[in-house]
Amino acid sequence: MNDEIDDEIDILINIYADVINYIEHIETSKKRIMNIKNRIQMFDNNYFEIKCNNELLNSYLNVFDNVRECNELFVHLHRLKDCVKDKIKDKCEHDWVNDTIDINLDSSKNICYCVKCEITKR
């Protein structure tokens, strides 16, 4: 494989990994904010409504309240992830390897993936 194709695949793999990290980060942030909001509601006082009432804080706590907007973002990111994955598949001269991964302490699963681009076969 020539260096140009290697560089293109490397860049695509970096984009793919970054998009996956971004999706995971958003999902984790959403869970943390929901936890924070639940904890605020458990207080037996109005500190966060009166003393800590701040436009920036409120926008942070309500960033995921627009369900439609959040869903559109996730759809967009998953489409981007799939698009980049397809580009990687098209560019890579796959070197398939069969391997076993642990699912939990008692079970494992056989997988087949490319050692170059880390795409799995279905």
Contacts of 106 by beta carbon, 8 Å cutoff, 6+ apart = none
DSSP 51: T
Name the β-bridge partners of 98. 112
More confident site: 29 or 43: 29
**Pairwise CA distance, residues 36 & 43, whole Å:** 11
Q: Is the pLDDT of residue 24 over 90?
A: yes
Q: How confident is the model at residue 2 (pLDDT cuts 50, 70, 90)?
A: low
Q: By three-state DSSP, how is residue 119 classified?
A: coil
Q: CA–CA distance from 94 to each of 10, 17, 99, 101, 115 (Å)?
A: 13, 18, 15, 20, 7
| Distance, CA of 109 to CA of 99 (rounded, Å) | 8
For the chain, the structural domain boundaries read: 3-91, 93-122
pLDDT digits (tens, 9 = 90+) for 61-100: 888 888 888 889 999 999 999 999 888 888 888 889 999 8
Selection from 17, 6, 33, 7 nearest residue 81 by Cα: 17
* Mean pLDDT of all residues belonging to the chain: 85
- CA pseudo-torsion sign 92, 95, 98, 103: negative
pTM comes to 0.66
pLDDT for 1 beyond 70: no
